[in-house]
A and B are shown apart, each in its own frame.
Chain A
Amino acid sequence: MEIDLQANLRKYYTNIRLSGGFIIVYIFWQILKMLMLMFFGYENVYDFFEVSKEDYESLKYILIISTVLIYFVFFSFHFYVGIGAFRFRSGRKIKKRFIVATVILLVMSVWSAFQNFYTDNIDDTVIASFILDATLCFILSDLLITLFKIKKSQKLVEG
């Protein structure tokens, strides 16, 4: 039975590493999507921030800094979870903050996935974006389930 447990643990560790790899790749996709939106999706910077020209002139720095901060936090979460999962090795303890970060990321991703449809024009790009976001939600759910399975298996091995 211990052999089966060890085999299962190996499977879970591989699963987590693969999930981490996907999350890291997803970051690059998000950066690419953001750049494409900025340079090709909007005619001018006011449309990007969804403000009028006058409001943009007065709130320029606040808008830019807050946008950068939001993206930074967004990507940091992804990076923290992705790298943490990718580097996960046998024998490492599962930290609570990692699980909390994964849960928060999952909630953000679910919200982000459905937010794609809050638009007048649902075209192929929206559907493609939704598919990727939905995949991320699945990967994050799988990551959480695997983490709990590892915890359980580790207890059985130690017991």
Chain B
Amino acid sequence: MQEDFHYYATYCAAFLAGFSHDESLDICYSAQFVDLCSKTLLLKLKAPLIAATTQLQLEMMDSRTDILALLDITRIWASFHFLPRDLYAKKKWATKRYLNKYRLICGPNGELVKETVELAKGKSLQAIGLAMHVLADTWAHMYFAGTPSLCINNITGDFYENYEDGERKIRFKHNPTSPDDVEKGAYTNSLFQSNENSIMNLGHGRAGHFPDYSFARYRYVPAWGDYSLIYKDNPSDYLKAFAQMVYALKYLNGRFFSFDIERYDYEAIEPYREKIVKILKKRQLNACEEWKAFGEELSGESIPDFDIERYQYEYIKADRRYKNKTFLARFFTAAIAQKAMVTNEIFKSGNILAGFTKEIKYQEKEDDDDKIREWLNSKIRQ
């Protein structure tokens, strides 16, 4: 998914779930920030590199494909963008080596989604936003895996888009500088590389940005599917993602006592369903304007455009004692915990593709904050 859904749609979902305008802004900012928190940014902020939730194209170009580098790539992408659906999936005649990758295929309503949402319970708004990003991406990135693998993520040339006027074959080109052409059905994808672990075979690169478009309805033959055809209906899936987000946010808000998979809060979105479906179905590369207008209509407040630098100054200038309380620090903490949880679950399933990580369970200590402030005030008085 892209900014229109991760930022604006998440804001809408948070507001519908009962969060205030400011809380919704924090949540949606964090949700979008997952797509931008790279090691390059963390180096600039002098923040822990382990908190990286994405990799820039330039970082991936420089990336090696030895075991450690693959481990690093898988940890990031599987934890935040391609959450595995079933870590214990079985496939006939599959070797262990193949199964390790097959089990990383992303999909909604897996056990890890439940754990992701429950991990954010009682935590900061940043953790909630991060969880919403992960949840939303399980719908868009379905059937692709967050590890470089030709035998899982490759597609054949039979890639057809369904739209109102009929069906047409998608023409993929390898020109990342030219934008996708919705009218002509020409989209950019990654170059075919026969190397199994090439970075070109990561995630949905072979299908380009196409799975992230909310209007897309398509059928294709994935490499993992034994030549079976996959039908993907993004408007329907994105609507489910939105409804599930509202439900998850209500759980995190305390309105529901538990979070179960395969549950959606259609009741909450019913008054706005037609509008949401219209936004999702509109054939355009970016639906930010429509979602923003919808969000502002819901809350009656203005939603600022996403600014990556909004909280950077606060983090850089914060005193060491208060650094953990800054917006970005809370986000980094949530990211580290999410990565630890997912990679630990992957490891526990007998899969070593994400390596081993110690699970971090943390609790924010509010009382230390008051003690430090009191101590400072006493020093000032002296």
Contacts and interface: CB of A to CB of B under 8 A. Distances in A.
Interface stretch (A6-14, A24-32, A37-45, A128-136): A6-14
* Residues of A contacting B: mostly: helix
What does DSSP make chain B's interface, helix, strand, loop or mixed?
Answer: loop
Interface of B: 156, 158, 221, 225-229
Nearest to A12: B227
Interface size class, chain A: under 10
B226 A11 contact: yes
B228 A3 contact: yes
Contacts of A7: 225-229
Interface of A: 3, 6-8, 10-11, 14
A3 B227 CA distance: 10
Contact of A8 (B221, B225, B227): B227
B226 A6 contact: no
13 contacts: A3-B228, A3-B229, A6-B229, A7-B225, A7-B226, A7-B227, A7-B228, A7-B229, A10-B158, A10-B221, A10-B227, A11-B227, A14-B227
Contacts of A14: 156, 227
A139 B227 CA distance: 21
A135 B15 CA distance: 65
Q: Give the residue among B226, B227, B228 with the most A Cβ atoms within 10 A.
A: B227
Tell which of A6, A8, A10, A11 has the most Cβ of chain B within 10 Å.
A10
A8 B225 CA distance: 11
A153 to B, nearest CB: 12
Contacts of B158: 10
Contacts of B225: 7
A3 B226 CA distance: 11
A11 B158 CA distance: 13
Nearest to A8: B227
Contacts of B229: 3, 6-7
Contacts of A8: 227
A3 B221 CA distance: 13
Nearest to B221: A10
Nearest to A11: B227
B28 to A, nearest CB: 40
B284 to A, nearest CB: 33
